[in-house]
Amino acid sequence: MTLAFDSTDSIRSAQPLRHAQSVTFDKPLKLSHGSELPGVTVAYETWGTLNPAKDNAVLVCHAISGDSHCARHDEQDDPGWWDELIGPGKSIDTDRYFVVCSNVLGGCRGTTGPISTDPRTGKPFGGSFPLVTVTDMVSAQVRLADHLGIERWAACVGGSLGGHQAMTWATRYPGRVARCFAIATSPRLSSQALAFDVVGRNAILRDPDFHGGQYYDKPTGPTVGLALARMLGHITYLSPEAMSTKFDLDRNQPHEIATDFEKRFSVGSYLAHQGDKFVERFDANSYVTISLAMDLFDLGATPRELRTLLGKSACDWLIVSFSSDWLFTPKQSCEMAHALLREGRSVTYVEIPSDSGHDAFLLRNEIGRYGRLLRAKLDGPSRNPSENVADHNAHSLFNSSGIEYEQIMQFIPKGSGVLDLGCGTCGLLAKLRERDGQDVRLMGVDVNEEKILLAVEAGFDVIDHDLNTPLSMFEDGAFDVVVLSQTLQAVNDVQALLDEMVRVGQRAVVSFPNFAHRSLREMFFHQGRIPKSPGAYGFDWHNSPNRRFPTILDFEDFCRDKGYRIETAVALDLQNGTRVTEEPNLHADTAIYVLRRASGPSR
């Protein structure tokens, strides 16, 4: 296969984009590292209409090699880099929102950057362009927002470096951001990601055609160095799985391309093509400038520093990561979500399962999945919470029902902040919201992507988290009540989880099927068979997701042993819809306990 393109030299002047407007601010822009720019031009594009209340504006921030063209403006237009996400009727609906996307400071697509003319010399800045940070990029965007009359963004949205910008808005201008959507990003680059950037920059800086950045008047620019940096970038954007799928089988059949780079291997021709193509549209000085800004972005080296900085925000957060993204890892997104939660912020965090690596945030397939999350957070609840009651208890031995929720709710004082572990689609939280109104803090934790999505669409914040790992994202006593409803039997280390529940909640409410119910005992005693589930799910001994078989007696012993104070205990016969007072361990099919730390603070 031949990939047709002309390899030309690196770009020599900022090429304006067709739909870009620009505005120039003559007032010098003070930069965070001390120097200043004599003035600044910002190139930007807009979609949709700013409403009279001016509260429907969404700022979209681009990544290292992006530009202001995030979506097409009409049918004939070139697609934008986030075309699947933004447009009429799409997740960020331009019929509803006024979308703004500007080229970053230091870029080469219309906004002031190294290729721009320094008014003080009449020549391009080149290597004398000052060091800029993400904060400076946002300072330029602030001027644009003021210019457009936007006091407060409905949302700041960005992936990768775009996420860094969105987070900078949220933390430095908390009054001007209602929502922050940080996609495939990080509080600061991992040392590995930083290392790749260092090598890429060194390839440019040590290219003999770089000339300290003063190459615009030279016959050639540092095209080899820039292409090498881009090749390296491409490896880090793809997951190993994606590379394997793309290149393993035809490894020794490179595409026939015209290039001066090595032509062996299919992956070699791909990288050569990406490198050659990039130098046609991007400026090496901009690449150095922007990659350095990304490397200097730093919300803190420690969880405490991260909390301090993210705690300055006052918006609603959505954080999305992709499972195979090794450049901006799910672990880093988790750290951000955890810091925000520890600071009491409203956060939904989801890790999308994907084989596409960091690139996932730009790919059609993946946008279909996380776009729904963005839309739900942006537009507000789109589902009737009462639809949520249904599929809560996939692991229940007995058919659970509204009765159980009603019982649990009796132990949750009105107005309590509640965390529901294994929340499913947030059926219990929906009932609590019906009862207590919108102003209480209700959150869910689950691992099922589809259920999380439904819960978010019903207006709840959910954290994508495995209950077999600690709840370290929540402060001691962060909630009045932490609920674990019909999930205990699927947990690996029961004590570890209950310790966390009574740490995070003033009270823990635990409901579970009582495996010592007479029907199960009799079956086991007389028939010598492990009881089959009488519930709807029909798991057998050999394939049940249940791995723990709590009984009322065992559970109470356990609580005594481990130092949980049992504040209330209720035994239920859910099948008959009654409470059980006589011999509960024999007659109850379900038990609900309210626990506290034995030595815990009283309310």
**Residue 358 catalytic?**
yes
d(CA 15, CA 282): 10
Query: Structure tokens of 105?
Result: 């400071």
d(CA 315, CA 301): 23
d(CA 309, CA 299): 6
Q: Looking at beta carbons only, is 95 or 260 nearer to a copy of itself?
A: 260
Query: Structure tokens of 581?
Result: 């007072």
Q: Which residues contact 27 (CB under 8 A, 6 or more apart)?
A: 39
**Residue 22 catalytic?**
no
Angle at 289 between CA 315 and CA 181, to 5 degrees: 20
Please state the separation of Cα 317 from the chain's center in Å. Answer: 9
Under rule CB under 8 A, residue 18 binds a copy of itself: no
Residues 475-514 that bind a copy of itself (CB under 8 A): 493-495
Least Å distance, CB 180 to a copy of itself, is: 24
Instruction: Using CB under 8 A, pick the residue from 525, 582, 602, 603 that binds a copy of itself.
Output: 525
Query: Structure tokens of 505?
Result: 């909640």
Select which of 19, 62, 69, 358 is catalytic.
358
Q: Looking at beta carbons only, is 209 or 283 nearer to a copy of itself?
A: 209
d(CA 204, CA 279): 11
Under rule CB under 8 A, residue 78 binds a copy of itself: no
d(CA 278, CA 233): 11
Please state the separation of Cα 325 from the chain's center in Å. Answer: 12
Binding mask 249-278 for a copy of itself (x = CB under 8 A): x-x--------xxx-xx-xx--xx------
Under rule CB under 8 A, residue 558 binds a copy of itself: yes
Q: Looking at beta carbons only, is 525 or 602 nearer to a copy of itself?
A: 525
d(CA 429, CA 485): 12
Strand partners, 98: 57
Instruction: Using CB under 8 A, pick the residue from 8, 51, 117, 244 that binds a copy of itself.
Output: 244
Residues 300-319 that bind a copy of itself (CB under 8 A): 301
Binding mask 216-235 for a copy of itself (x = CB under 8 A): --------x---x--xx--x
d(CA 288, CA 10): 14
Under rule CB under 8 A, residue 462 binds a copy of itself: no
Query: Structure tokens of 516?
Result: 């010592």
Residues recorded for the chain: 603
Least Å distance, CB 301 to a copy of itself, is: 6
Residues 111-170 that bind a copy of itself (CB under 8 A): none
CB 229 within 8 A of CB 200: yes
Under rule CB under 8 A, residue 529 binds a copy of itself: yes
Least Å distance, CB 523 to a copy of itself, is: 10
Under rule CB under 8 A, residue 9 binds a copy of itself: no
Instruction: Using CB under 8 A, pick the residue from 237, 247, 278, 405 that binds a copy of itself.
Output: 247
Instruction: Using CB under 8 A, pick the residue from 379, 449, 554, 573 that binds a copy of itself.
Output: 554
Instruction: Using CB under 8 A, pick the residue from 321, 416, 486, 551 that binds a copy of itself.
Output: 551
Under rule CB under 8 A, residue 294 binds a copy of itself: no
Instruction: Using CB under 8 A, pick the residue from 199, 390, 536, 598 that binds a copy of itself.
Output: 199
Q: Which stretch binds a copy of itself (CB under 8 A): 28-36, 162-170, 430-438, 521-529?
A: 521-529
d(CA 74, CA 79): 9
Binding mask 326-365 for a copy of itself (x = CB under 8 A): x--x------------------------------------
**Residue 160 catalytic?**
yes
Helices (H), 490-596: 494-504, 518-522, 552-562, 584-587
Under rule CB under 8 A, residue 248 binds a copy of itself: yes
Max intra-chain CA distance, the chain: 96
Least Å distance, CB 120 to a copy of itself, is: 26
Dihedral (CA of 109, 113, 118, 124) sign: negative
Please state the separation of Cα 9 from the chain's center in Å. Answer: 38
Instruction: Using CB under 8 A, pick the residue from 30, 33, 121, 195 that binds a copy of itself.
Output: 195
Select which of 325, 461, 480, 589 is catalytic.
325
CB 325 within 8 A of CB 352: no
Catalytic residues, by residue number, are 160, 325, 358
